[in-house]
Amino acid sequence: MRAVVQRVSRASVIVEDKVVSKIKSGLLVLLGIEDQDTGEDIKWLSKKIINLRIFNDVDGIMNQSLLQQDGEVIVVSQFTLYAQTKKGNRPSYIKASKPDMAIPLYNQFLAQMEQDLGKKVGAGIFGADMKVSLLNDGPVTIWIDTKNKE
């Protein structure tokens, strides 16, 4: 799994002119899924995201997690995180899981995040043409890949 985690002051997802998710302070997570992803990837990534110390403490130092801030989350599926751009100018998405594999893993990830966070997690609509709006706070943007745990 790959995730782009963005600390936001606010974020929303619109599908067909309807707001399907909206948060104030928290995280917008763009999530890419490949066929090799497992339940272990889901558990590891969820815990990593909610425990990242990327929120400011009272001294203005990034020293608090989403849990400590009682922040909100929106998770949006994004197969383009697996774009391969080595050859030519048209990216290949061959490594991204097809919907029959990706949808169950996406739903499992949402459920794991809700369990770990202890509250409802916002989501996009898998496969829909989504309009994602955000106000990146910082800006703070972090890339995480479960196959490359650096």
Q: Which residues are catalytic?
A: 80
Beta strands in the chain (DSSP E): 2-15, 18-23, 26-32, 55-56, 62-64, 72-77, 122-123, 130-145
> End-to-end alpha-carbon separation of the chain, Å?
14
How far, in Å, are 39, 92, 104 from residue 44 at the CA level?
9, 27, 17
Q: Whole-angstrom Cα distance, residue 14 to residue 82?
A: 23
